[in-house]
Amino acid sequence: MQLTKTEEQLMQFLWKQEKAFMKDLLDLFPDPKPATTTVATLLKRMTDKGFVGYKEYGKSREYFPLVEKSDYFSKQVNGMIKSFFNNSASQFASFFTQETNMSSAELEELKKIIDKEIQKKKK
């Protein structure tokens, strides 16, 4: 399941805060802030999708993420690799390194990460 751009923005706030009331989430949006009803609708949809849970305190709800940020991001990247790069991680890596204007220092750091992963896989 996927989030819309606005739901993703709200989810980013929740991942950062770990738990928050709707008023707190609304305060995190840049101006012009969305209507309270808009945020309430987004939270309801995200709860229905299984991304967000909540605890009730009287009439207030404290929301928290049910999905880890790294898990969501991993699924998004893997979906993109499948959709746009014929399910080939190497095609994705080639595109990523050529099209993102990475500096030589960033490429060296990426090379170290890849070399480390190769060593792990060999064991």
Query: What are phi and psi for residue 60, nearest 5 degrees?
Result: -100, 150
Q: Is the pLDDT of residue 8 over 80?
A: yes
Structure confidence by residue, pLDDT tens digits, 92-119: 888 888 888 888 899 899 889 888 988 8
Tell me the C-alpha distance between 118 and 95, whole Å. 20
| Cβ-count burial 28-43 (b if 16+ within 10 Å, e if not) | eeeeeebeeeebeebb
Average pLDDT, the chain: 91
Task: Provide CATH code, domain 5-65.
Answer: 1.10.10.10
Q: What average pLDDT score do residues 41-60 get?
A: 96
User: By CB neighbour count within 10 A (0-12 exposed, 13-18 middle, 19+ buried), where does 70 fall?
Assistant: exposed
Domain boundaries, the chain: 5-65, 69-122
pTM confidence score:
0.74
